[in-house]
Structure 1
Amino acid sequence: MKIPKSLLVEPEKSAVYGSFAVAVSVFAFAYSTNFGPILILAYYAVWLPLILVDYRRFLRHLSDAWLPLLFVAYVCLSVFWSHAPSITARAAIQYFSHILCAYIAARTVSVRTLVVGSLIGIFFVLLYSLRVGGYATDIIDGTTNFVGAFGSKNQVGFFSSLGIYLCFVFAIFYRRGWPSLVWTAPIGLLSVYMLAIAHSATSVASLPAALAIVILLAMSKVLSRRYRRVLFAVGACTLVASVFAALNLGLMDFVLGIFGKDSTLTGRTYLWEQGWEAAQQFPILGYGYAAYWVQGFAEAERLWAEFFITTRTGFHFHNTYIETLVELGFVGMSLISLIILRAFYGHISTVIFRDWRADSVVLAGAVGLMLLRSFFEVEMLGPYFTASFVVYYSLFKLRSVPQVRRQRSRIAIQEAKVAGS
């Protein structure tokens, strides 16, 4: 039986396969360290073969992806000054392939399909963690938190908060009748429950902000473009004021205080200081991609010992920009900052200054969630992370939808001319 290509690569028709591919990807991102390479191979298997189905689709408008291509090229070039060249080379290839899969997804999967597939994947991710039922005591602050199959409360919190966010936007923008709410309700309830028992302050604090972005942009639909600009200016000023308050007026400590913690007790401020000091050694180009947290390197071994990381793997500075500054220097930090801001502002500007679209509202909120988390977690710099997949997908989507609309307009004009003649 021959399967039509459109069912695999056309965003309007690939809902079934696209949902499956996204669900597999989300589960692979969550548990690749648990199940080994088999999940990563499954992740590649659902995306990379699509290039062979219709390679012209992916070569079209490739120049629009210049910023991620420039960044991944820089990541690969860092092997020449890396302190651990073999590790950098392997990690750089993995990161490139990860971005390539996100690019393929953006060209073949609609935003609604991404939401549906992610919800399915998150449901199985949370169910598996609930079945494992792991709890762990935080040595730094002495609290006991649910860590599931991850071994990390922050990862449980991330997938739970993302599940709540996606249930929210699905109910507002993508549901097709009340039956749609029936199958998403258990996912939302499970996400709320697991977010509550994970006690992840980062996830709880970032979720309301992401939902607020969606609500404000959704409300702007009834406004004229002039008043949307006013709303954008007010929102931008509020964001700047919030960041200032968090950094200088103790807002961060207030939020952490709700969970019985403070920014010093969590160890993050100490890690940030250590990261900043490490970055001063090679401020322009850095140590090389993935070349700092290497077994046998004195500073990495010292920090692992201080934070009781007996596995001596999987640690970071708990800040995307400091981590990037250490590994890739000021050049790399500037590039990854531009990528995140471009994806975030690009979809907001589409809603505010051009045509209002639900897809852009959803992606702006999703990238906003990742942007807020980037100050406390490192989920954008490594391969096989849901956060980086979503951000790169959103960035690649900036030109694909307008381009499709222009093509449809040209086709409609041609058809009208033919009919008129």
Structure 2
Amino acid sequence: MVPLDRRADQRVQNPSQALRYVRTMRHQREPVIRGFSVFALTSILVAVVFVLTDHRRDLVGVTAGTNGPALITTIARLGLLGFTVTLVILWPQRPSLTRSPLTFAIGSYVLYIAAGVLWSPDPSFTLHKLVVLTTVGITAFCIAQVFDLDQITDLILVILVGYLVLGAAYEISSGSVQLRSDYRFEGTTHANQNGLFAAIVALISGTRLFLSHDSRSLRRTYWLLLIGSIAVTAITMSRTAMISLAAAVLIITALQMTIRTSSARMPLGAFVSTAAIASAVALVVLRGPRRGDLSSFGERSVIWEPLWGAVQERPIHGYGHLGYWVSVPSGRVNNAHSVYLDLLLDGGLIALALVLLILGLTIAKLLTATRHGAGANTVFCLAFICFLIVHGLAESSWSRPMIGLLFLSCVVARVAVPGPSRSSYSSSPAR
């Protein structure tokens, strides 16, 4: 059976199929080619709009707690906005939000979060932040319509590996690397964020190493990425990332063992990965707790205690998107360090229930695809969602417009609304 998420391995059976395949591929690539031709102009127009509307700080400001240069943030925001506007203009398809339970749940969540402006303590602030959140969502949807899961996984891997390499170069050039017990790899962002990125790289390389049939040179590369990413996760001292990675490996292994098409190398991969992760966790634990660091796993209760009181005041509908944080004085903490607590603050129990429904329906579709012979990239998407569900218990890794939310939105959007190409989560097996 041919893996569904490796389109390069699919063989056409006759000339007419080959011609349809070429036309489909050309139709897919046209928006990208045209998009890059107007990308710079769109970004400039977005920058002009931001300046004219007196949002200069939003354009060039650096996120609180980030030690990277402002130029990186500026380029990233301009690129995201420009890419979004370009693809929205060029992409011709507008699928209905009621075509499946998953798309209906996504549409319901979007409408409900938008309605949060009505009960937000500061409607103008919430509306402005909703624009940023909507930008991430639309960008993810457009990416999912242009690329399939195989290409999205490649994109995630390249971006995260590049980000970690640039962070390491920045750390070395600034002289921050020191051989001491409390050293944490930070690079151009927070150490916990680097731990998240490295753990995702470990998931991608691990699933491809033990579930795909790539060449020997690629397998060596995946071995290096797997070992290196686990090592990077260890030196970030992010207990949340390591525990979540171990949990995702165990969950996905248990699921794969119940599927007839599971690879014979899966038990070996689970053993190697779990042993390496357990060793890394033990190494970090032996270093001792990070007292006084509110971003550490052991100090979460200091943040959570007052936030639970705020949730109990508005348990059903919350305070609107980021509405709670308007009244909080500027300081070191600007999120709940828990996705689920952030969701309760933003939209109450209704928002939390809708998000869990979306993730549950996405997992169900991915499991169906896996049972019908989908390959390593579909399994990674399944492991990726399981990892984020666990990781969100003690980190705001995908409740805010950050790279984790963008990647998760790309996967969910691709599963919910298949593009014109043959998708890797199709419920029918390849022939």
Instruction: Give the letter aligned to residue 292 of structure 1.
Output: Y
The CA distance in 2 between the partners of 1:402 and 1:114, in whole Å, is 13
Q: Tell me, yes or no, if structure 1 residue 279 matches structure 2 residue 311.
A: yes
Q: For the Cα contact (< 8 Å) 2:368–2:427, is it kept in 1? A: no
The CA distance in 2 between the partners of 1:409 and 1:357, in whole Å, is 9
Instruction: Give the letter aligned to residue 87 of structure 2.
Output: L
Secondary structure (helix, strand or coil) at the match of 1:49 reads helix
- Aligned residue for 1:393? 410
Farther off after superposition, 212-221 or 371-380: 212-221
Query: Could you tell me which of 91, 95, 100 is aligned with 1:59?
Result: 95
The CA distance in 2 between the partners of 1:347 and 1:409, in whole Å, is 9
Pair 1:349–1:265, CA change in 2 (3 A) = closer
Give the TM-score, by structure 2 length. 0.68
The CA distance in 2 between the partners of 1:402 and 1:103, in whole Å, is 10
Instruction: Give deviations 1:293-322, integer Å, cap 9, x for gaps.
Output: 23xx3xx239x4xxxx2xxxx622211111
The CA distance in 2 between the partners of 1:277 and 1:33, in whole Å, is 35
Q: For the Cα contact (< 8 Å) 1:115–1:166, is it kept in 2? A: yes
Q: For the Cα contact (< 8 Å) 1:256–1:262, is it kept in 2? A: no
Q: For the Cα contact (< 8 Å) 1:71–1:335, is it kept in 2? A: yes
Q: For the Cα contact (< 8 Å) 2:209–2:223, is it kept in 1? A: no
The percent identity for this pair of structures is 18
Pair 1:86–1:409, CA change in 2 (3 A) = closer
Pair 1:207–1:8, CA change in 2 (3 A) = farther
Pair 1:271–1:255, CA change in 2 (3 A) = farther
Q: Tell me, yes or no, if structure 1 residue 71 matches structure 2 residue 109.
A: yes
CA apart distance, 1:61: 6.7
Give the TM-score, by structure 1 length. 0.70
- Aligned residue for 2:13? none
The CA distance in 1 between the partners of 2:419 and 2:168, in whole Å, is 41
Secondary structure (helix, strand or coil) at the match of 1:149 reads coil
CA apart distance, 1:221: 4.0
Q: For the Cα contact (< 8 Å) 2:145–2:420, is it kept in 1? A: no
Q: For the Cα contact (< 8 Å) 1:112–1:174, is it kept in 2? A: no
Pair 1:255–1:372, CA change in 2 (3 A) = farther
Q: For the Cα contact (< 8 Å) 2:152–2:410, is it kept in 1? A: no
Query: Could you tell me which of 378, 383, 400 is aligned with 1:360?
Result: 378
Secondary structure (helix, strand or coil) at the match of 2:325 reads coil
Secondary structure (helix, strand or coil) at the match of 2:321 reads coil
Pair 1:258–1:66, CA change in 2 (3 A) = farther
For structure 1, the 5+ residue unaligned runs are 22-27, 225-252, 413-421
The structure with more helix, counted as a fraction of residues: 1
The CA distance in 2 between the partners of 1:259 and 1:185, in whole Å, is 27
Q: Tell me, yes or no, if structure 1 residue 260 matches structure 2 residue 288.
A: yes
Q: Tell me, yes or no, if structure 1 residue 96 matches structure 2 residue 121.
A: no
CA apart distance, 1:351: 3.4
RMSD: 4.2
Q: For the Cα contact (< 8 Å) 2:343–2:399, is it kept in 1? A: yes
Q: For the Cα contact (< 8 Å) 2:145–2:418, is it kept in 1? A: no
Secondary structure (helix, strand or coil) at the match of 2:318 reads coil
- Aligned residue for 1:342? 361
Instruction: Give the letter aligned to residue 378 of structure 2.
Output: S
Query: Could you tell me which of 283, 287, 290 is aligned with 2:322?
Result: 290
The CA distance in 1 between the partners of 2:347 and 2:283, in whole Å, is 31
- Aligned residue for 2:184? 145
Q: For the Cα contact (< 8 Å) 1:340–1:391, is it kept in 2? A: no
Q: Tell me, yes or no, if structure 1 residue 321 matches structure 2 residue 336.
A: no
For structure 2, the 5+ residue unaligned runs are 1-21, 40-61, 263-280
- Aligned residue for 1:50? 87
The CA distance in 2 between the partners of 1:170 and 1:33, in whole Å, is 36
CA apart distance, 1:159: 0.6
Pair 1:328–1:400, CA change in 2 (3 A) = closer
Q: For the Cα contact (< 8 Å) 2:362–2:416, is it kept in 1? A: no
Instruction: Give deviations 1:162-209, integer Å, cap 9, x for gaps.
Output: 111111122234553123235545544442332121110011111122
CA apart distance, 1:34: 6.1
